[in-house]
Structure formats: C-alpha cells, structure tokens
Structure 1
C-alpha cells in the first residue's frame, strides 16, 4: 500500500508532504511530494516512526514485574495504542530465583516478537539511591548470579542497570558487554572516577538520569557529569513533569545533543486509572497520576511515550528532537536495527500525530492498530 501524510518527521528527514510504500511488514520506499502512483490512504497529521521505549515496567493495569505472559501482553497492548511499537520489559529488584522465572517467561515473548528485550533494573543497585526498589533484596553482582540470569534469558536480556561502585560491578559490566548486553549506570552513589571506569568497561547508558543517583557537585562531580560529558553514553530521561524539571531536561539536551532517549519508566498505572498496584514486591499507589510507595518515594511513572514527546516539546524541545529521542536514539542505544526510523527496509512501524501531538493512528509491522481514541 502507498500512504501519504501531511508531513513527515523521521531522523535525518522532515518534509511538508511525504509518502511511504508498505509491503507486508516492511517499508519498501519513502519519498517527498507526490507518490509514484495513487495513494491507498491519506494520513491527516504528522507521520513519525513508531516509538521505542527501552525502560518500561507496566501499563494498562498490568505489570512485567509479575513475569506473567498474559499481563505482559496486556502491557504491550496498552502502550501500543499510545504509539509504542517497540517495547523492552523492565524488571525491578527481586530475588534471583524470582528474576530467573520472570526472565524465562518474558524471554518467550521476546522470541515471539511481542517484546524487544528484557531490562534488569536491579538487584545490583546502591542502597543509598534505591528509590522504590526493596532495599532488603539488593546485592552486589556475583559471577554466579550474572551467568544464571544470562542463561535464563538465552539472548533475550537486552540491558541491565547497575551501580558501578558495588563490589564486582566492573567485572559484571564486562561480562554483560561480552554477552552482547547493554549496560546502564543508575541508582548509584558512584564517584566521577568510578562512573568513568564503568564507561571504559563498556557501560553505554545513563539510566533515568537525575533520578536516584548521586547529584552534581562542583568539586565532586559524581556520575551525572561523567555520563553527560562522554560521547559514548546514551542518556535516558523521564519527561513527565514529575521526575525531572524542564530546566534539567534542557540542560541534558544541550550537554548530550543527539544522545537523549526518552523513556517512560512506566508502571501498571500508565494508560490506566488511579489506584493500588504492585511493582515487583513493592506496593504502589497512584494518585492524580503520580505513583508512590508507602514511604512517599516515586515508583516509576504513569507516562506513555506519546506523553513524553508532548511534555518534551512543551519543555522547549523541537518536535524533531523529541521524536528523535523517542525513536532513533533508544533504538540505536540498544542495537534495535530495523526500528526507530521511517526508511526503506525498516519495519513498518508508523505513528500519526494530530495537531495537539495526540496519537491518531498506529501501524506495527504493517498492520493498523486501534489508537487510544
């Protein structure tokens, strides 16, 4: 089919009018102006690539952290209606036995193509900056635990987050990198030097920068400075108006231009109602769209990627920069090679945004999806 659109924004290209040819689940051609033959459908609005969310714990009232395939499908369906066509399932800190079971269950959905990978956010985090993670379950990374979870994933673990100051963390980072797993630094009380050592060992992602990490200091810069200044590092931001002030979003965009990737860090209350939820072993209450633990700690978000794009634009991002941070950048950061751009040969994942940047249409793998309405 040939689709035309009022405008197209994709990394490296923006045009007032555009057309896309889709054959099966692939984009076979893209152009500006008038298509070579009559269009099968005109899309009113701005055409962008399908969103890529590489840090998500749940949504639609369900959670990845339960390790239940039925719940995982519910999460993916909820975010798909909001334009997320590539989704990585994030697991929070839990016992190794529980994580092993969850990784094995979710790994089947990665193999089936529903999910784009698994992200282990914990248990190798700092107790000083654990946030909503259960501090009693935190532990330093041992070679035994690392190898066990890699074996459980059988190639489906796409990313891990760890605190580089922990005993064994640098060796674990190298082990993960050697296994083809992306290493993120976060939930950390590291020094600048410790963060640099981890980056040199292969860490390439700043996990939800500014949140649950040692803050900047003019004499003791800490991990934030190391992550922002290094061109090898991709920088996650939760752009929801709760986690990070707009001024800090703009600071990160300026310091890490082209390396910003928007993430939701969403939990079960995303695209769902206020109420009581679980985030792994932790009870979470969502009130007025903000998720918190009983201690008052922020416990993920109720954000969608479309919402992150809108808030980023409202915070001063150009629309093209916000779209790039929601598509190309996260795909590149995690090595997802056929998504994140509207280009010849790529997977036919498309989102149409209306004038208010709300999702009007969604296509995944060449098939239309009912949007949020």
Structure 2
C-alpha cells in the first residue's frame, strides 16, 4: 500500500464542509484532513464517508443464503457502488439452513477480502417474525427461544435481529438481547402501536424497512408505523422510491431524528432483468424492481450510490443524505471509527463528481475498481 496518498475535494467532515485535502495513512486509516485549497478554487468533486448498509441480502447474482463464499462475492459487488461496510442479511428459513449460512458468515466476518466491503456482522431478519406478515420472506417463521438465539450467535457475530414483538415471549427476548448489546428491530409484524411502544421500552432500538411489512398508520389505530413515527430515534428505510412514496419518506424524516437508509438488496442488484433467488424464493427483476410471482415487492435492486442520488432528488441536502447512509448507521452500531471522515477513522471514502456519480471508492485505504460505465 502506497504511503501518504492524498485526495482533494470538498470534504464532508464532522464539523461540516471543507475544501481541502485528505491524507491516507499506510495502515488504512485517515491520517489528516486539512484546508489546503486556495479560496475560490472550483471544487470538482465531493469526498464523503463510505456508505454503510445494514440490510443486504445479495448482489451480483448471488444470495447470502447460498452460504459458502457468497457473502464475500456480495461484498465485492456492493463495494463497487460505494458501500464500504455492511451487515450480511439472512432470510427466514429452516434452522438447519440458517445454521449453515451462519457458519459460513462467521468465517467471512473475520477477515475482509481484497476488493470487497467489510462485513461487519449479520442481520438476522427472521425467522422470528409474524407468519401473517411475511412480505417476501419464506413461510418458515417461528417463535424465538433464547437457547436457539444464543446458538445462532455462537456461529457468527449477529449484530442485529429483526423480530415481531407481538409474538408470545418476544418481549422478554427483546429485553435479554438488549441487555447483551444486540440491536433489535421491529419488523414483519402485525403488532399494534402499544406493542411497538412496549418493545421500545424493553430495549428494541429500531424498525426494519419502515412502512413495509408492518401494521400501518391509521388515526384511530396508529399501528407499528405510528409507534415508529411517535417514538423512534432510529429506523431503517428503503429509498428506492418504489418501497416508500417520497411523501411518506418526508413524514418519516420529520419524525425520526436518525432515520437511516438501507438497500434491502437482492441477488438482482447490479444485474440485468431476469430470474434470481431470494432465500428459497424465485424472484423476477423487471421495471427497476424485484417481485414475487404474485407481484409482492421482494427486496430491491438498489445500490447505495443510487440511494444517495434518490434522497437528494427529493430535496435532502447532500450532507443530510450522506449522514443517513453513513454516519447514522455507524452510530447505530456504535462504530466511532466508521461513517465519518476524521483523523484516525478508517479510510472508507467515496469520491463523487458534481452530479453525484462515483469516481473513486476506498475501503480501509484500498482503492476499489468501479463498475464499467
């Protein structure tokens, strides 16, 4: 690795924008950030923190549930679109299948492979969900018991678990997981507003793909969406502009201080239209989306660079959009050295032109090859 490489541009620092230069150290971290550009000089590119995606099922034709080296292939695909770290996300499945995948992910999480994003850990999305609100999840939902959760956690670093709080025994599971430092999100749920509030009181910390696969907002029955809008500090949302209308995104932005964005991407991300796998399901990519045979949205084809452009297109300032793709997910997981450009932080960086097209991506100081134009 070349020592003391320097990047120049308009840098989004922790204290705001700075026209200057960023120096990369030999150990993959940021050595320094300085205001070195002459005043009034035209800035040709933005330097932003690398994107952090906490909900990734696949990409490049590969699904996380395939096991083996699938997660590393997914991490390479998303790195080419600016994602510098991610949570590999599982699907609802029989226990033997989940065990197999988690064993493989345990290996993939230990060491980052060259050319790929850092796999921070696992987002266990199911099987602890409501069978009446599967969305695109396979029909293998079950009630959580702590012995099984502990076994899964022994196989791989499970950072985040999605569950339905209204299922018998789940409030106690939420409390125990929160006490152990595991993030719990509410999702794939038919729970009421009251269920959501109680789950937050027990230690739940967020909501999975807000608005999707959860009881909706009605003025006399606020539902799980109402609990999120009224009480959440954090929630994830898919900004592909298919899963959630821009008006609903704006409502969430006004209500949830640290709303952060995810792709919920599938194997179809970065691939042409056609048939792909999502867990045990077959899904079809067409017209910019991914659907089951009955038309149900089944994850997305979104990449994080497009998520940034989408947020800006509906009126978010660039710095705010960047925070929702980098800073807030990092803070949610308690990662003080990612999601921000600062001396000592990992050199996870995206360089973008004035139209927010990717020019360069660095993961822990390694420059990543981009997708051919």
What's the TM-score bracket when you normalise by the shorter of the two chains?
A: over 0.9
Unaligned runs of 5+ in 2: 113-117
Deviates more, 1:2-11 or 1:274-283: 2-11
Q: After the TM superposition, which residues 218-233 of structure 1 pair with which residues of structure 2 at under 5 Å, given as runs?
A: 218-231=219-232, 233=233
Indicate how the Cα distance of structure 1 residues 363 and 22 shifts in structure 2: closer, same or farther if over 3 A, else same.
Answer: same
Q: Secondary structure at the match of 1:115?
A: strand
| 8 A Cα contact 2:238 2:263, kept in partner | yes
TM-aligned CA deviation for residue 44 of structure 1: 4.2
Q: After the TM superposition, which residues 1-373 of structure 1 pair with which residues of structure 2 at under 5 Å, given as runs?
A: 1-15=4-18, 17-24=19-26, 25-34=28-37, 44-69=44-69, 71-113=70-112, 114-135=118-139, 137-153=140-156, 156-231=157-232, 233-257=233-257, 259-373=258-372
Q: What TM-score does the superposition give when structure 2 sets the normalisation length? A: 0.93
Indicate how the Cα distance of structure 1 residues 43 and 152 shifts in structure 2: closer, same or farther if over 3 A, else same.
Answer: farther
Per-residue displacement from partner, 1:347-373 (whole Å, max 9, x unpaired)? 011100112211110011111111223
Q: Distance in 1 between matches of 2:236 and 2:35?
A: 32
| 8 A Cα contact 2:228 2:256, kept in partner | no
| 8 A Cα contact 1:10 1:323, kept in partner | no
Q: Distance in 2 between matches of 1:247 and 1:195?
A: 23
Q: Distance in 2 between matches of 1:235 and 1:64?
A: 23
Q: Distance in 2 between matches of 1:174 and 1:168?
A: 10
Q: Distance in 1 between matches of 2:262 and 2:13?
A: 18
Q: Secondary structure at the match of 1:118?
A: strand
Q: Secondary structure at the match of 2:219?
A: coil
TM-aligned CA deviation for residue 2 of structure 1: 4.6
Q: Distance in 1 between matches of 2:101 and 2:169?
A: 24
Q: CA RMSD in A?
A: 1.7
Per-residue displacement from partner, 1:125-177 (whole Å, max 9, x unpaired)? 11222101112x11111223212212222xx1110000100111111112222
Q: Distance in 1 between matches of 2:357 and 2:202?
A: 41
TM-aligned CA deviation for residue 3 of structure 1: 2.2
Indicate how the Cα distance of structure 1 residues 64 and 344 shifts in structure 2: closer, same or farther if over 3 A, else same.
Answer: same
TM-aligned CA deviation for residue 335 of structure 1: 2.0
| 8 A Cα contact 1:3 1:43, kept in partner | no
| 8 A Cα contact 2:216 2:226, kept in partner | no
Counterpart for residue 115 of structure 2: none
Q: What TM-score does the superposition give when structure 1 sets the normalisation length? A: 0.93
Q: Distance in 1 between matches of 2:14 and 2:287?
A: 34
TM-aligned CA deviation for residue 337 of structure 1: 2.7
Q: Secondary structure at the match of 1:102?
A: helix
Q: Secondary structure at the match of 2:78?
A: helix
Q: Distance in 1 between matches of 2:101 and 2:86?
A: 16
Q: Secondary structure at the match of 1:120?
A: strand
Per-residue displacement from partner, 1:273-305 (whole Å, max 9, x unpaired)? 111111111111111221111121111000001
Q: Distance in 1 between matches of 2:367 and 2:223?
A: 46
| 8 A Cα contact 1:184 1:207, kept in partner | yes
Q: Distance in 2 between matches of 1:193 and 1:285?
A: 37
Q: Distance in 2 between matches of 1:58 and 1:369?
A: 19
| 8 A Cα contact 2:84 2:348, kept in partner | yes
| 8 A Cα contact 2:51 2:82, kept in partner | yes
Q: Which runs of 4+ in 1 moved over 6 A?
A: none
TM-aligned CA deviation for residue 43 of structure 1: 9.1
The alignment of Structure 1 onto Structure 2 pairs a total of residues equal to: 360
Per-residue displacement from partner, 1:19-74 (whole Å, max 9, x unpaired)? 11211211121122349xxxxxx9941000010001110011111121221x2221
TM-aligned CA deviation for residue 309 of structure 1: 0.6
Q: Distance in 1 between matches of 2:102 and 2:183?
A: 16
Q: Distance in 1 between matches of 2:275 and 2:119?
A: 25
